[in-house]
Amino acid sequence: MEVMKEVEKVQNKVTELIKEGKSIGFVPTMGYLHEGHVRLIKEARKENDFVILSIFINPLQFGEGEDLETYPRDEHHDKKVAEENGADLIFLPSTDSMYPNPLSIHMSVEGRTDALCGRSRPGHFEGVVTVLTKLFHITRPTRTYFGMKDAQQVAVVDALIKDYNFPIELVPVPTVREADGLAKSSRNVHLSAKEREEAPAIQKALQYGRELVCNGETRPEEVVRSTRKFLESQTHGKIDYIELLSYPELEFVKTIERPVILATAVFYEKARLIDNVVFNEKGEETAG
């Protein structure tokens, strides 16, 4: 496995791979790799000739007061995990190499961001699409892999690829969970023992809401109300939002008669956790 920090070196490597007719699988991450990232790497390994993993904590997607400085980092661990699971190349750029000069052109995201995390994190998805546009141009992947834990991000990446005609296949990968249902996240290390005990209630609440639809409920407001009531009874975390929207359009619906996402974000003392479930009008889970 190779590790490259310079943009030009990665571009040269990619040019060689494309000339050789090799497919490239790309897994963009912010590091501190866990089982969720491992699944992305393994999926990329199965479907491509060459796998590139990027590790870059993108400052543009962190807002004021968010956890940029405390975001967990472990470069040695990340290299070991990447190599053991089939990555061929780690792109490990510095902030200066990704943003050597102040940006002259700023990207704006109009759709799929006025709900869920986009509402409470202004500027976040502008930072996401900016760094991904740069990373896509640098790595020129055949396919790119994203976890459905952040389903809104998947929806925004889907729009980015389609709107700007990137010749890239987006591969959404189901959320990897702990044995008790908690979604794997780099931020889980910040939970206290009590919070860690309560956190699995997030997914339980979402499944409770989905089961209401399985049993015939078609009113989004009732699903949201019942899900919130369930979650409030199971955790002391502060609920940022619970929303039910069409997926991947992320538009409000009056009745559940198409694929939807039921999603939530919960604040704990030192961590903000997100989770979701995507399902059809019958309440059957879908891949998104």
CATH numbers and ranges of domains, the chain: 2-173 (3.40.50.620), 186-278 (3.30.1300.10)
Q: Is 36 among the annotated ligand-binding positions? A: yes
d(CA 87, CA 27): 9
Count Cα atoms within 13 angstroms, Cβ side, for 88: 18
Tokens read off for 150: 């952040």
Of the pLDDT bands very low, low, confident and very high (cuts 50, 70, 90), residue 64 is confident
248: preceding bond cis by omega (within 30 degrees) = yes
CA geometry: angle at 271 spanning 266 and 275, to 5°? 40
Mean pLDDT of the chain: 95
Does 37 carry a binding-site annotation?
A: yes
Q: Give residue for tokens 């900016």.
A: 130
Q: What does the pLDDT read at residue 245?
A: 97
Consult the annotation and say whether 134 binds a ligand.
no
Both tokens of residue 6? 């310079």
User: Alpha helices, DSSP H only, in 140-246?
Assistant: 151-163, 193-198, 201-214, 220-234
Is residue 96 a contact partner of residue 218, using CB atoms and an 8 Å limit? no
Residue 65 has pLDDT above 80, yes or no: no
> Which residues are part of the catalytic machinery?
37
153 among annotated binding-site residues: yes
Report whether pLDDT(288) > 70.
no
Residue 187 annotated as part of some ligand binding site: yes
pLDDT tier at 287 (50, 70, 90 boundaries)? low
| DSSP annotation of 174 | P
The region of weakest confidence among 123-127, 241-245, 262-266 is: 123-127
Residue given tokens 């490259």 in the structure block: 4
* 24 neighbors 137 (Cβ within 8 angstroms): no
Give the closest residue to 81 by CA, choosing from 50, 49, 48, 55: 55
Q: Which two tokens stand for residue 33?
A: 């790799």
